[in-house]
A and B are shown apart, each in its own frame.
Chain A
Amino acid sequence: MKQLSMLLILIVFTFSTAIAQDSENNLKKLPTVSIKNLSGQTINTAELNNDGKPMIVSFWALWCKPCINELTTIADVYDEWTAETGVKLVAVSIDDARSSAKVGPTISAKGWDYEVLLDVNGDFKRAMNVNMIPHTFLLNGKGEIVWQHTSFSEGSELELIEMVRKLNAGQSIN
C-alpha cells in the first residue's frame, strides 16, 4: 500500500506539472531518436521539420486497418492540403522486422507522397508516449506539439485540417 500511495502521489504531481507546463506554454518538441527512412538512411527525429510550417506526425502499421484508412483518406486530399497550407505529413511505421520490408513496396503502390520512417523497435513510439495506433500529432511551425489524437473515423481528417488552418492563421488550438 505504501508503494501504491507513493506512486499515486508521483502520478498526481506529474499530472499537475503537465497541466502547469501547458499553461506556461512549455510545449514538448520531437525527441531525439535515431530511426531509418525507406532509403536506409538514419534520421534524427528531433531534426524533422517543415521550414516553419505546420507538420503532422502519424504513427501507423501495415496491420492496422484504421491507420491505413486514415492515411489513405488524407492521401486523397494531400495535394490540396499542401497547396493550401504547406503542411507536411510524416508517416512513422511501427512495423517490426516481420513486415517492415513490405512498407516501401506497399506504400509506393498506393502512391502516398508522405515522408515515411521505419520505427522497427518502437523507440520513437515510446519516446512519444504512443499507446494505441493510429496516433497522430500536430506540430506548429516552431516544432512544438500542439495537438494529438488517437483512433480514426471517417471525417476526422476534417478536424485535423481545420487545426492546420488555425495554426497558419496564427490562432491557438483549443
Chain B
Amino acid sequence: MRKLYTVLCILVLISAGSVQAQDLLQGKISGNFQLDAQVYKADSAIGAEEVSERMLMNAFANVLYTQGNFNAGMRFESYINPILGYDKRYKGTGVPYWFASWEKESFGITVGHFYEQFGSGMTLRSYEERNLGYDNAIKGARIVFKPYQGIVLKGLIGTQRFFWEQGPGIVRGLDGEFALNDIFRNTSENMPRLTLGGSFVSKYEPDADILVNGNEILILPENVAALSGRFNLNHKGFMLDGEYAYKYNDPSAVNNFIYKAGVSTLLQASYSQKGFGIILSGKVTDNMSFKSKRTEKGSVLDINYLPALTRQHAYTLSAMYPYATQPNGEFALQGQVNYKFKKGTVLGGKYGTDLAVNFSRVTSIDRDSLDSTTPLGKSGTLGYKTNYFAMGDELYFQDFNVEIQHKFNNNFKALVSWVNLIYNIKVIEAHDEPDVKANIFIADATYKFSSKNALKAELQHLSTKQDEGNWAQAMFEFTFAPRWFMTFIDQYNYGNDDKDRRFHYPTVAVGYTQDSNRLSVSYGKQREGIICVGGVCRTVPASNGLLITLTSSF
C-alpha cells in the first residue's frame, strides 16, 4: 500500500507541478468531499444510547484526474468513529478505492476498484451508496470491448470490498449487449428498437467445513455460476423489458444452506405520451441471494442486486414502513398511472394538475416441501419445490397511493397524498407482531412571498392501530434562494398506547449553500427508524444531538 501511495502521489505532483510538460497541462483534476459529524447526548427516554466518544464522524474525499483517454482516481475515507447507523467495521481511515483506466472508442480497460452493472443487476451489480454505507466495489480488472457498432462486450474479475479488506470470494463476469438496430444499421424512428443481452457470472470461494443438522458436513460447491438473458423493446412510447436469471446451487447462510437453484424473472411494460404514462411490472424471485462469502448475512458482499418493486416514498411518515426485498423468495407486482389534467380544464386550472396513482403488492412464493419427511427449507437438502408463477399465501407488503399536485398561481402550489399500507412487520423486520395497517395523509404547500423567498409547510399524519400507533408531523421550511434555508420539524407519536412513550422529536436545521458547497447544521431528536436512499435502507438508532454535514464538489 505504501508503494501505491507513493506512485499516486508522484503522479499527481507531477501533473500539478510540471508546467513545462505540454501534454500534462491538458490533464484536469476534479473531485468532491463530504463530512458528517454528529455530537450525541444520551436520552434514555427515546432510546438514544450513550456514545462514549461524544462525537462521531464520517468523511470522504474523491479526486479524479482526466487526460485524454486516461483517467485515474482515488477516494480517501475516514470514519473516526463511524456515526451511529453505520457498520462499526468501517472504523478507520484509508484509501479503499483507487483506479486507473484507459478508454478508446472500441476498447477500454480499468484496473483497481470499479463499479459495474449487468442488465438490471440480477446477476451482477457493484455500486456505492455513500449515505447508507453501502459499497461492494470490485477490486481487480475490467475490459470493455466494442468490436462492432451496437455490440458491447464486458469481462471482469476481482474480489469485493469488505470494509477495509476484501471478501474471500473471487467474482468473474462476462456480459454481452447487442443493440440490433445499430448492428443492422436500421435506426429509423419507424423501426422498433430491440436490444438483447446476456451475462455469465461465476464466483469462487474455497471449501469450508460447515456443519448442519447437528453433525452433517456439507459438500460445498467452490464455483457457483449465474446466467441471465434480457431484452428491451422500445417503439414510439411503448416499452417492454424483461430479464431472466438462473443461479446454480449456492448453499449459504441466507438460504439456510439449501442446494436449490435460484431463479428470478422480471417483466415490465409501459406506455408514455405527453400528459399520460402507465407502467406495469412483475417480478418473481426465488432463492436469488448471491454473495461472495457463504456465511455472510448482512448488507455486504452482495454480487447481485434485487430491487424492491415498490414505490420509494419521499415523505417521512409515508416512508416509515419501507419494504425490503426478501431474497429467498417473493412475488411482486406494481402498477402506476401518471396523468396530467390539462391547463384550462376544470380540474387542470391555469397550470394543469398532476395525478399519480400507484399500487404494489408483494407476497411470498408458493413453496411445497420436497416430500412428507423433509421439513421445508431443511439445510443440506434441495430445500423445497416451487410452483413458479404462483403467488404464495403470505402477504408481505401492499401499498396503494394517490398523489395530486397543483400550482394555483405564481406564488402558491400544493401537493396532497394518501397512502394505504399493509406491512408484514414479522417478515420484514423480524418483530413477531401483527401486520401494520396504516393510512397516511400528507399536505405539502409552498408559498412564495417574494421572488427568492419562500415558506414550505408540510403536514403529515399516520394512523394505525398497530406498532407505535398514530403519528403526526409538521415541518416549516424557510428558504432564501439561493443560499439559505431554515427548517423546523416536529414528529409526535401522540397515539402510542403507552402514555409514557408519546414522545416529541423536534429538530431545527439551518443551511448555507454557495454554488456546489453546502453546509447544514441540525439540532434535535431523531427517531429510531429506517433511512432509505435510492432503494437501499439502513436503520438509524434513536439519537439526540447536533449533526453537521459539509459537502463540496470542485
- Which residues in B have their C-beta under 8 angstroms from that of A42? 152, 179
A156 contacts chain B at the CB level, 8 A cutoff = yes
How far apart sit A64 and B195, CA to CA, in the bound complex (Å)?
A: 29
Chain A interface mostly: mixed
Contact with A along B60-95 (1 / 0, CB 8 A): 011110100001000010000000000000000111
- Which residues in B have their C-beta under 8 angstroms from that of A83? none
**Which residues of A20-39 are within 8 A (CB) of B?**
20-21, 26-28, 31-32, 34, 38-39
Q: A98-B312, A148-B516, A155-B453 are in contact. Are A129 and B338 (CB under 8 A)?
A: no
B344 contacts chain A at the CB level, 8 A cutoff = no
User: B130 to chain A: closest CB distance in Å?
Assistant: 8
Q: A7-B76, A40-B195, A122-B127 are in contact. Are A97 and B307 (CB under 8 A)?
A: yes
CB contact between A153 and one of B34, B314, B481 (< 8 Å): that residue: B481
B34 touching A131, Cβ below 8 Å? yes
A129 touching B513, Cβ below 8 Å? no
User: B115 to chain A: closest CB distance in Å?
Assistant: 6
B16 touching A41, Cβ below 8 Å? no
User: B411 to chain A: closest CB distance in Å?
Assistant: 9
B336 contacts chain A at the CB level, 8 A cutoff = yes
- Which residues in B have their C-beta under 8 angstroms from that of A4? 93
A14 touching B448, Cβ below 8 Å? no
Q: Which one of B38-46, B48-56, B270-278, B382-390 contacts A?
A: B270-278
- Which residues in A have their C-beta under 8 angstroms from that of B354? 109-110
**Which residues of A131-174 are within 8 A (CB) of B?**
131-132, 135, 147-151, 153-156, 158-159
B127 touching A121, Cβ below 8 Å? yes
Chain B interface mostly: strand
How far apart sit A105 and B273, CA to CA, in the bound complex (Å)?
A: 8
A10 contacts chain B at the CB level, 8 A cutoff = yes
A154 touching B479, Cβ below 8 Å? yes
- Which residues in B have their C-beta under 8 angstroms from that of A99? 312, 535
Contact with B along A12-24 (1 / 0, CB 8 A): 0111111011000
B454 touching A108, Cβ below 8 Å? no
B482 contacts chain A at the CB level, 8 A cutoff = yes
Contact with A along B156-170 (1 / 0, CB 8 A): 000000000000000
B205 contacts chain A at the CB level, 8 A cutoff = no
Residue of A whose beta carbon sits closest to that of B75:
A126
B270 touching A131, Cβ below 8 Å? no
User: A110 to chain B: closest CB distance in Å?
Assistant: 6
User: A118 to chain B: closest CB distance in Å?
Assistant: 11
Q: A150-B516, A154-B454 are in contact. Are A31 and B534 (CB under 8 A)?
A: no
B305 touching A109, Cβ below 8 Å? no
**Which residues of B228-268 are within 8 A (CB) of A?**
232, 234, 237, 239, 241, 268
How far apart sit A149 and B274, CA to CA, in the bound complex (Å)?
A: 30
How far apart sit A148 and B31, CA to CA, in the bound complex (Å)?
A: 13
Q: A101-B270, A110-B354, A131-B553 are in contact. Are A61 and B534 (CB under 8 A)?
A: yes
How many chain A residues touch B (Cβ–Cβ < 8 Å)? 70
CB contact between B115 and one of A34, A126, A131, A132 (< 8 Å): that residue: A126
How far apart sit A65 and B1, CA to CA, in the bound complex (Å)?
A: 42
- Which residues in A have their C-beta under 8 angstroms from that of B454? 153-155
A155 touching B482, Cβ below 8 Å? yes
User: A139 to chain B: closest CB distance in Å?
Assistant: 14
How far apart sit A158 and B275, CA to CA, in the bound complex (Å)?
A: 26
- Which residues in B have their C-beta under 8 angstroms from that of A105? 270-272, 277-279, 336, 338
B340 touching A111, Cβ below 8 Å? yes
A96 touching B535, Cβ below 8 Å? yes
How far apart sit A162 and B5, CA to CA, in the bound complex (Å)?
A: 44
- Which residues in B have their C-beta under 8 angstroms from that of A41? 179, 193
- Which residues in A have their C-beta under 8 angstroms from that of B239? 40, 101, 104
How far apart sit A132 and B513, CA to CA, in the bound complex (Å)?
A: 12
A131 touching B485, Cβ below 8 Å? no
Residue of B whose beta carbon sits closest to that of A122:
B127
CB contact between A16 and one of B16, B281, B307 (< 8 Å): that residue: B16
A155 touching B127, Cβ below 8 Å? no
Instruction: Given contact pairs A14-B63, A108-B276, enumerate 11 new A-B contacts (beta carbons under 8 Å).
Output: A10-B12, A17-B29, A39-B234, A40-B239, A41-B193, A96-B127, A111-B274, A122-B128, A129-B30, A154-B446, A155-B481
Cross-chain pairs A/B with CB under 8 angstroms, 30 sampled: A3-B93, A11-B63, A13-B16, A14-B63, A26-B25, A27-B28, A28-B30, A39-B234, A63-B533, A64-B314, A104-B239, A105-B272, A105-B277, A106-B277, A106-B336, A109-B277, A109-B338, A110-B354, A111-B352, A126-B128, A129-B30, A129-B31, A131-B32, A131-B553, A135-B553, A148-B515, A148-B553, A155-B453, A156-B482, A159-B482
Q: Which A residues lie at the B interface, using CB under 8 A?
A: 3-4, 6-7, 9-11, 13-18, 20-21, 26-28, 31-32, 34, 38-42, 61-65, 76, 94-99, 101-102, 104-111, 120-123, 126-127, 129-132, 135, 147-151, 153-156, 158-159
Q: Which B residues lie at the A interface, using CB under 8 A?
A: 5, 8-9, 12-13, 15-16, 25-26, 28-32, 34, 61-64, 66, 71, 76, 93-95, 103, 115-117, 120-121, 125, 127-128, 130, 152, 179, 193, 195, 232, 234, 237, 239, 241, 268, 270-279, 281, 305, 307-309, 312-314, 336, 338-340, 351-352, 354, 356, 407, 446, 448, 450-454, 479-482, 485, 511, 513, 515-518, 533-535, 551-554
Ordered nearest first, which 9 A-B pairs have the shortest CB separation? Answer: A105-B277, A109-B338, A155-B481, A155-B452, A153-B479, A98-B307, A108-B272, A154-B454, A98-B535
